[in-house]
A and B are shown apart, each in its own frame.
Chain A
Amino acid sequence: MFSELFSSEAWAEALPVIRGQFLLATWETLYVTILSTFFAVLIGLPLGIILVTGDEKGIHPLPKWLMKTLNVIINLLRSIPFLILMILVFPLTRVIIGTTVGTTATIVPLVIAAFPFIARLAETSLREVNPNSIEMAQSLGAGTMQIIAKVMIPESVPLLISNATTAITTILGYTAMSGIIGGGGLGKIAINYGYYRYRYVIMFAAVILLVILVQIFQSVGNKLALLSDKRLKA
């Protein structure tokens, strides 16, 4: 498998595919990753907020049964392997997108796999907010929504950004897996053109590109988290 990497013949064979397909595949991967992350945050962040504020000791305790149910659902979704989850949500995908194959169709299972993960990440970020700051806001007459919008979220922005980075790189990894069930992107190229046809050079090239994308996301995320943190400006 690895010996091919040093064969000029294999490279010559692979180059047209790399030239012809990689640009579109990279775009598809980014498109799916970013849209899925967006929707997963849209569902996951409010859930994370509810997990913190609705807690027994939170600023707006919710009924215990509700919190328990929420936790069970999140844990359940998080424990199903992504490959199985993709297949399980086919009916839902068909309702929302109209088909179960193709690049856009993979957004549905990706969002469902990612939002519980993002909810947990948001939960841990928001729990880090100094309880004294929340008490201070309460002492000045802040309501629950004001505390969420003006204290909890702004105060945990650096941590939220670095956790969002973790989320986006994880989702990028998931998009590659979705190639197996007909999703587009670099994952599809690696599996369909590379692995199934024994053209390992293409597989490796796609993987390397994925690695580079992860690196870029991670460095940009780290930089943003650092820049947003006003505690470090002393």
Chain B
Amino acid sequence: MIELDHVCKTFTGSDGQVDALKDVCLSVDDGDIYGIIGMSGAGKSTLVRTINLLEKPTSGTVRVDGVDMLSLSPAQLREKRREITMIFQSFNLLMQRTCLKNVCFPLELAGMKPSQAKKKALELLDTVGLKDKAGAYPAQLSGGQQQRVAIARALATDPKVLLCDEATSALDPGTTHSILELIREINAKLGITVIVITHQMSVVESICRHVAILDQGSVAEAGEVSEVFSNPKSHAARSLVFPEGDVDDLFRDGGPNEHLIRVVFDGSQATSEPLIAHMAVEKGIEASIAYASMREISGKTYGSVLLGIAGTEETVTEAISYLTQKENVTAREVKPYVQ
């Protein structure tokens, strides 16, 4: 369990003070995959670094498994950090060490015998599918492979928490997908709590169970991914969910009887079937597509569609129940934002 309580962080620079984090309260359950999403400059990286105290909060408390991180002595903190490891956007492998030696690095720090460390590192490289690259140097690997080595390194000390700081932002979509799969697998197999920092909705949608939306240093909204993304309340959440403009604009265009439904496809086999056309034929409900962002990964559809439906509340309820008959499809009405 990770608990952040009223965490504030203020940086004092040459051009005055910057409040990077403002009164952030978050709690992450053991074994969860928790996303923290926000625009660049929202304070995501600072926030994730307060968990292992790479950034010391100006005020507030950070607890990991009930231990107040700020009360630890420097030596205790170093010990504790082995339980909360991290992967980075730029992988941060040591370029003058082989992959094997990179994975051995945290074990060396912990004082493990070299022969034992090597054995463990080889097992971990096997886990991430790069056993054959043990003797290669990072410069000889692709970005995705480097991140796999970094993941192996992060797992070396048997951590309870894995912090992912924009871990897939430097990777192409295909590699991103495979790295996210690996993280999901690790979470499922080892029960490690994962915290994912990202600016990409798709990353959160594909692996996270809970999400917090960070906006200018404060948590704008937090909760279950499906709940937050289908019913975004805050302005920050809305601009992430509707990147093409705020939903309120859509209401203005559509008139008073227009309702909006957000349909999320989470790995459903929907592409072979014209779901919306069938709805029109079978139920007589006509829908216009206000916004759509879909991707197909190995035959399954991921993404979301925003449908505009003219009619009464009953029509909307009927449409939602029709759409959600399909497996892995969720639909929810999106209400206009009232200030």
A binding-site residues for B, Cβ under 8 Å: 130, 132-133, 135-143, 146, 150-151, 154-155, 157-158, 228-234
Contact = CB atoms under 8 A, between A and B. Distances in A.
B120 to A, nearest CB: 14
A233 to B, nearest CB: 5
B110 interface: yes
B137 A230 contact: yes
Given A140-B105, A141-B79, A132 B88 contact: yes
Nearest to A138: B54
B108 to A, nearest CB: 7
A141 B106 contact: yes
A26 to B, nearest CB: 35
Chain B interface bracket (under 10, 10 to 19, 20 to 34, 35 or more)? 20 to 34
A150 B140 CA distance: 21
A23 to B, nearest CB: 40
B97 A154 contact: yes
Contacts of A230: 95-97, 137, 139
Interface secondary structure of B, over-half rule: mixed
A229 to B, nearest CB: 8
A175 B231 CA distance: 78
B1 interface: no
Given A135-B54, A233-B140, A140 B92 contact: no
Name the residue in B54, B80, B163 with the highest tally of chain A Cβ atoms < 10 Å from its Cβ.
Answer: B54
A153 to B, nearest CB: 10
A142 B109 contact: yes
10 contacts: A133-B92, A133-B94, A140-B106, A141-B78, A141-B110, A154-B96, A154-B97, A231-B139, A233-B139, A233-B140
B85 interface: yes
B86 A139 contact: yes
B242 to A, nearest CB: 34
B95 A139 contact: no
Contact of A135 (B80, B92, B95, B108): B92
A226 to B, nearest CB: 13
Interface in B60-101: 74, 77-82, 85-86, 88, 90, 92, 94-97
Contacts of A133: 92, 94
B85 A150 contact: no
